[in-house]
Amino acid sequence: MPATTPPPRELHERIIDWFGVHRRSLPWRDDPAPWRVMVSELMLQQTPVVRVLPVFEAWMERWPTPADLAAEPSGEAVRAWGRLGYPRRALRLHAAATAIVADHGGEVPSTYEELLTLPGVGDYTAAAIASFAYGRRAVVLDTNVRRVFARVVEGVQYPAPTVRRAERDLATSLLPDDEDRAAAWAAATMELGALVCTARSPRCEACPVADLCRWRAAGYPEHDGPPRRGQAWHGTDRQCRGALMAVVRDADGPVAPEVVAASWSDAAQRERCLDSLLDDGLLDLTPDGRLTLPG
């Protein structure tokens, strides 16, 4: 393995140039208005681009501004979220839109610090909005970026399960000083991880920095950290919650409990998941005991 990390300027030039040729045309990238970027970032958390695209387009047509979304009940956001999964993200986006209207004049804040004050906006999302929507210099560390840095610079197959101080310091040291270049770097490294330096089948022959990659130079050593967990689905509480939500979401009005019950056979799991949906605010009970989306 090379004794030193690849020269940052060389990485910047090659990866940003590669991005200029190979970047995908995506609606939130082609028109990076702040609200569009924010909606896309919430939707893309743990959900592939192909599933997000139709929901994003329908969402933006219905709610082109934060004020449009904030004016409707949160249950409508949950309904429009459809089958993207993790529907609490819809509630967070509605809460963020409400805060944007109340505290920021209806405009998505432009600084990392202000963005962090919004409901449901954490470190990554705040940095991504600041960078992609406003061209700010920010450390954007999603799964794809972290994997690129782990392989090219650190020489390991996968990053740690969570972001550590050393990893953030490394990402900060690699960030170009110029704001425009830093924003391009954030988008380019993310795209490289999504299209080329993928988790399971990296296409090293298509990588613009293959000859600089420490993991490749070391002979592709296998991951020796904590076991990486796959995302189970069948028979899990996630699947059960999704099935219960689908019944209520697709109905024209409140749904009787027995109708919801018919969607899942395991009674104990069904009741546990139903309680969790009520606790999370994703479902409400009407006075006569029927289930509905939050008002």
pLDDT digits (tens, 9 = 90+) for 27-44: 999 999 999 999 999 999
Burial 81-117 (b: 16+ CB within 10 A, else e): bbebbbbebbbbbbbbbbbbbeebeeebbeebeebee
Tokens of 177: 């000083």
- Identify the residue whose tokens are 């069904």: 270
- Sorted by where each begins, the domain ranges of the chain are 1-230, 237-292
Would you state the pLDDT for residue 26? 97
| CB burial of residue 202 (10 Å; 0-12, 13-18, 19+) | buried
Q: pLDDT digit string (tens) for 46-68?
A: 888 999 999 999 999 999 999 99
Residues in the chain: 295
Q: pLDDT digit string (tens) for 134-175?
A: 999 999 999 999 999 999 999 999 999 899 999 999 999 999
- Asked whether the beta carbons of 15 and 185 are under 8 A apart, the reply is yes
- State whether residue 29 is helix, strand or coil: helix
Of 10, 41, 114, 271, which one is the catalytic site residue?
Answer: 41
Neighbour tally for 7: CB within 10 Å: 10
- Segment 264-268 shows an average pLDDT of 89
- Res. 229 pLDDT band, cuts 50 70 90: low
**pLDDT reading at 101 higher than 80:** yes
Tokens of 5: 């990390």
SS3 per-residue string spanning 130-172: HHHHHCCCCCCCCHHHHHHHHHHHHCCCCCCCCCCHHHHHHHH
41 is catalytic: yes
Rounded Cα gap, residues 148 and 132, in angstroms: 19
Would you state the pLDDT for residue 257? 87
Across all residues in the chain, what is the average pLDDT? 93
Q: pLDDT digit string (tens) for 202-224?
A: 999 999 999 999 999 999 999 87
Would you state the pLDDT for residue 226? 67
Would you state the pLDDT for residue 179? 95
Would you state the pLDDT for residue 62? 98
- Res. 227 pLDDT band, cuts 50 70 90: low
Would you state the pLDDT for residue 232? 72
Q: pLDDT digit string (tens) for 2-17?
A: 446 789 999 999 999 9
Rounded Cα gap, residues 51 and 84, in angstroms: 7
**pLDDT reading at 1 higher than 60:** no
Class of the CATH-defined domain 1-230 = mainly alpha
Q: pLDDT digit string (tens) for 74-86?
A: 999 999 999 898 9
Burial 159-168 (b: 16+ CB within 10 A, else e): beeeeeeebe
Would you state the pLDDT for residue 173? 96
Per-residue DSSP letters for 177-244? Answer: SSHHHHHHHHHHHHHHHHHTS-SSS--GGG-TTGGG-HHHHTT-PPP-SSPPPP---TTSHHHHHHHH
Rounded Cα gap, residues 102 and 70, in angstroms: 10
User: What is the Cα Rg of the chain in Å?
Assistant: 21
Rounded Cα gap, residues 257 and 259, in angstroms: 5
